[in-house]
Amino acid sequence: MKNKKTLLVALTSVFLASACSYSPLAEQPIEVSNSKIEIAQPEAVKNLLATDSEALWSQDFDHYQDSLLLQVSQAISVLVKKGDLANADLEKLTFYLRVYSSFGPDKDWPEKTAEALNNALVNLQNMQGFYQITSTTARLHENYAVALYRLYFLEPLRLSTADHIEPLARLIDLYASSDLIQNSADNNSEALEYALWEIIRASAILPYEATRKNKAEHLNIFSEEESLSRALLAFIVSENATINGDDWPRQHASWALANYYNVYNKQYLNAYYQKSEAEQKQLDDDEITLPVQKKMTDLDNSLWQALTNSMRNISSKKPVADDDSDAESEAVSGSELGTTLGSEALKTLFSVPYVVSTYRGKSECEEGSLKDRCIAPTVEEATPIKHICSDSLFIRTQKMTKAQLDDSCNQLISQEAVFHEKLATSKEPAANDFNDKLRVIVFNNAAEYNKYGQLVFDISTNNGGMYIEGTTQDPDNLATFYSYEHFWVRPKFQVWNLNHEYVHYLDGRFIKYDTFNHFPSNLVWWSEGLAEYISKGDENPKAFKLLNKAKQDEWLTLQQVFDTKYRDGTDQVYKWGYLAVRFMYEKHREEYRQLAHFLKTDFFDGYKKLLDESGKQYQAEFNTWLTEHNANFVDVNVEKNPQKPRQFYRYTYKDYLQPTHLKETSQHMHWQYWHENALKDNKGITVTKE
């Protein structure tokens, strides 16, 4: 499969008549009078129901009290028996699930908690009238969807996701056909839009989390049950894919389908790495294929067709002059559809967010199912600001201020001196290296990096930034470091991995001969460990915390670190790489600099021989060095607040998708990563809620 490296069982649905048959609630008195069910709620549930919703978004409320989630889940199931969709307690308890997802414990739940919660949500969507649209049911739809994507990535609930694929598909179909959403203030269209927003987000985030966790049974839920992906494709062609001229629902549905593509791609890669090298080469050369590849291609083609049909539907509703009506009809239904409606508009819909969210870019857009279907923004469009730091360094960015640019330049220039001192380079570049200038590209956030990094610069963006060395022997080559603002620590300004990635440039320019892939092996520990060591110096508590948390017999040997590959995981690549580099520099500086000399002079055999000798000869000393540091380790970042709200994973959602009119309020919010208190403005004053 070409470009494979770009980034690149189902359970039976069971409805239990009573979710409480095993629970303490089953023993509570339930009195039937006038066909109404009266419920004696546990004290914890009573207290929750009596607490103001805004007060629930706080650690002042005890979200860690024993069995709270279990009791809330059981209470929901009992309320469902009443059959009253408008029950205020039912709304509040289902709403509380999103609060709990941020404030309550995410592990070590009491026995049967996950089962009770899943039963509660299955029971909820089986209520009579649930699949009708009113402002009341819309609120329950919203709560249901948020609970799914905020809780079902947790290990106890992952496989229960299978119970909710078809219900989500039914909700997508329901909102696709509703005539209440368009221009319907009398029917509280905003409540319906909030519900639709969260339903589609759940449809996107659930497969996204399956890809992140990368467990076969979890991935199979999405690859084997296609009702939700079919519903999303059908939704794109529906009238409600665009609401009052705003196509945010269509964009969200395309993003959700991208996450389905990523499930298929993850399954492909998992199978690929189980193959022999010969079979991998056959797959690379398209001599053989895997069944899941057809799913990826079919999805590309199906979405393109759905977007084309969607645009045709929109165009057909535009008023035209009587004498032009036949021509318009013929044009939009013929092969000139792209030209008539604007091929760039269609390509934009396909490219963002779909193509970029599948981590494919410029190269993939020149072949296969993406050929002639992508936009091609310019460097100037993506990064309009250019700032020159020095003769050898300049920055292109989207939104940085002059002060931020100057500070970033100063950081890099000062770090360069440290690099040359530690590596004793004499500031002499490697032979035939013409990378005498570095371009630094800084995006406003990870979403912008994902959008433009692939379409403009043809790089994979499923990472925290990267350095592309290029062909060092080419005098016209331009080495480039790509990154984005450390947006989750705002208002403080930082560029994510700025110093780390700059070391890669210095390493390639002044140490390693030729390009990145020139040497056959054993360079991961060197490249990433050196970048961590130069950028962090002696201040890397996370590396020693990793050491401290592991048992001593689980510590890696020096040779294991030297043999590190990128697939060994971030801890080994970065933290253990740092430890090995720092050890070699502190304890065996002469040998470390000799290793650098071998790399600079293109003598890999000498490098590998000295590396292997060091791995054996210094292992005992390395272990002693680790032990000494571990004994002196003090975790200065000990969590002062062990029950601190959990953040919404910063890469899950793309801010450019956010509908501007759907504001975050105490009733429609999550404890987002970019602010610990979403209910307060930057002056600490409580914001008025809707």
Using CA atoms, how far apart are residues 45 and 76, in angstroms rounded to an integer?
10
pLDDT at 330: 35
Residue 369 lies in a domain: no
For position 461, which CATH number holds? 3.40.30.160
Q: Retrieve residue 331's tokens.
A: 């044009």
Q: Clarify whether residues 498 and 539 are in a common domain.
A: no
Q: Clarify whether residues 210 and 271 are in a common domain.
A: yes
* Out of 119-133, 244-258, 289-303, 628-642, least confident range: 628-642
Q: Which of 455, 480, 510 represents a domain boundary (last residue)?
A: 510
The residue type at 552: Q
State the Cα angle at 536 between 535 and 541, rounded to 5°.
155
Q: Which of 584, 608, 631 represents a domain boundary (last residue)?
A: 631
* Overall average pLDDT of the 18-37 stretch: 36
Q: Clarify whether residues 486 and 570 are in a common domain.
A: no
State the Cα angle at 337 between 333 and 343, rounded to 5°.
165
pLDDT tens track for 489-542: 888 899 988 999 999 999 999 999 998 889 999 999 999 999 999 999 999 999
Residue 649 lies in a domain: no
Q: Clarify whether residues 55 and 185 are in a common domain.
A: yes
Q: What is the extent of the structural domain holding 474?
A: 381-510
What residue spans of 273-401 are helical by DSSP H?
277-284, 291-316, 325-333, 337-341, 343-349, 356-357, 379-382
Asked whether residue 387 carries a pLDDT value surpassing 70, the answer given is yes
Q: Clarify whether residues 91 and 136 are in a common domain.
A: yes
Residue 115 lies in a domain: yes
Residue 542 lies in a domain: yes
* Overall average pLDDT of the 254-264 stretch: 98
pLDDT at 671: 59
Buried b (16+ CB within 10 A) or exposed e, 366-380: eebebeebbbebeee
With beta carbons less than 8 A apart as the criterion, state whether 353 and 251 touch.
yes
Q: Clarify whether residues 460 and 547 are in a common domain.
A: no
pLDDT tens track for 598-644: 999 999 999 999 999 999 999 999 999 999 999 998 877 655 677 77
User: In percent, how much of the chain has pLDDT > 70?
Assistant: 86
Q: Clarify whether residues 273 and 391 are in a common domain.
A: no
Number of compact structural domains in the chain: 3
CA 672 from centre of chain: 14
Residue 85 lies in a domain: yes
Residue 353 lies in a domain: no
Give the number of other Cβ atoms within 10 Å of residue 584's Cβ.
27
With beta carbons less than 8 A apart as the criterion, state whether 459 and 359 touch.
no
The residue type at 687: V
With beta carbons less than 8 A apart as the criterion, state whether 526 and 578 touch.
no
Q: Which of 510, 542, 564 represents a domain boundary (last residue)?
A: 510
Residue 361 lies in a domain: no
For position 575, which CATH number holds? 1.10.390.20
Long-range pairs, 403-408, Cβ under 8 A, ≥24: 404/493, 407/493, 408/440, 408/442, 408/495, 408/498
Instruction: Kindly report the backbone phi and psi dihedral angles of residue 394, in degrees, each rounded to the nearest multiple of 5, phi listed first.
Output: -145, 160
Instruction: Kindly report the backbone phi and psi dihedral angles of residue 492, in degrees, each rounded to the nearest multiple of 5, phi listed first.
Output: -65, 140
Q: Clarify whether residues 492 and 547 are in a common domain.
A: no
pLDDT band for position 684 (50/70/90)? very low
With beta carbons less than 8 A apart as the criterion, state whether 656 and 487 touch.
no
pTM for the whole structure: 0.83
Asked whether residue 220 carries a pLDDT value surpassing 70, the answer given is yes
Q: Clarify whether residues 418 and 462 are in a common domain.
A: yes
| Average pLDDT in the chain | 87
Q: Clarify whether residues 166 and 276 are in a common domain.
A: yes
Whether omega for the bond prior to residue 520 falls within 30 degrees of 0, making it cis, is no
* Overall average pLDDT of the 293-306 stretch: 97
* Overall average pLDDT of the 342-350 stretch: 90
Measured CA to CA in angstroms, residue 509 lies from 105, 416, 434, 472, 519 at distances of: 48, 12, 8, 8, 15
Residue 494 lies in a domain: yes
Q: Clarify whether residues 158 and 257 are in a common domain.
A: yes
Q: Clarify whether residues 263 and 399 are in a common domain.
A: no
